[in-house]
A and B are shown apart, each in its own frame.
Chain A
């Protein structure tokens, strides 16, 4: 079935270090992969997305890479700051069922 796995579930890094979160998806026909950041008590916010015709996309300290063959995509945050602390969700749009499936989330803590 349609599934998105996300690892790790929790991640602690020192301020200034990099953080990497990886997601795998089940349907090779998926073509849209967004990442959301949700701070405690707040609504999810799109931070970056990538489509299946692109291998990498970067926006300042945030980058996403997509490996279609291996069916995985990753979020990279460089020079982490305390305000990066939040839960990050990956998602994939599955064309067959026209369904949007989210990963279970990664709780990132950036320690000062």
Chain B
């Protein structure tokens, strides 16, 4: 089976812009979770989608949003980008909901200038 894929792998944006990141889970996996990883804050959970519904959510502002499609692919959107949004954004998929083994994608490196 193909692993979790994320596009794009690298992205450069400027403050105030918005960005959309994409994640394709392992075939058959129905849950997709998103994480932000920075040197200062470490790994932080953004949200989880299961069967096209947001099931769990971390402590991030409303500028961070997501959605999941019927084929389980997920997108994450960040509006009004800030310098502090520069990070590695990881998605992870699992067969069912979060409390099971998650497989991570390679991540999207977002740089906000």
**Chain A interface residues toward B at CB < 8 A:** 31-32, 34, 36, 43-46, 49, 51, 89, 91, 93, 97-105
Q: Determine if B42 and A102 form an interchain contact, defined as CB atoms under 8 angstroms apart.
A: yes
Could you say which residues of chain A place their CB within 8 Å of the CB of B45?
99-102
Q: Report how many A-B pairs have Cβ atoms within 8 Å.
A: 49
**Chain B interface residues toward A at CB < 8 A:** 33, 42-45, 48, 55-59, 90, 92, 98-99, 101-107
A45–B103 alpha-carbon span in the complex (Å): 7
Which of B44, B101, B107 meets A102, CB within 8 Å? B44
Q: List 30 A-B contacts (CB under 8 A).
A: A31-B99, A32-B98, A36-B43, A44-B90, A44-B104, A45-B104, A46-B101, A46-B102, A46-B103, A51-B99, A89-B42, A89-B43, A93-B98, A93-B99, A98-B55, A98-B56, A99-B45, A99-B56, A99-B58, A100-B33, A100-B56, A100-B98, A102-B42, A102-B43, A102-B44, A102-B45, A103-B42, A104-B42, A105-B42, A105-B43
CB of A50, distance to nearest CB on chain B (Å): 11
Could you say which residues of chain A place their CB within 8 Å of the CB of B107?
43
A103–B92 alpha-carbon span in the complex (Å): 18
CB of A6, distance to nearest CB on chain B (Å): 9
A91–B44 alpha-carbon span in the complex (Å): 10
CB of A19, distance to nearest CB on chain B (Å): 20
Q: A100-B58, A102-B45 are in contact. List 18 more A-B contacts (CB 8 A).
A: A44-B90, A46-B102, A51-B99, A89-B43, A91-B43, A93-B99, A98-B55, A98-B56, A98-B57, A99-B45, A99-B56, A99-B57, A99-B58, A100-B33, A100-B48, A101-B45, A102-B42, A105-B43
CB of A2, distance to nearest CB on chain B (Å): 8
The prevalent SS among residues of B at the interface is strand
A3–B42 alpha-carbon span in the complex (Å): 13
Q: Determine if B90 and A99 form an interchain contact, defined as CB atoms under 8 angstroms apart.
A: no
A46–B98 alpha-carbon span in the complex (Å): 12
Could you say which residues of chain A place their CB within 8 Å of the CB of B55?
98
CB of B99, distance to nearest CB on chain A (Å): 4
Q: Determine if A43 and B104 form an interchain contact, defined as CB atoms under 8 angstroms apart.
A: yes
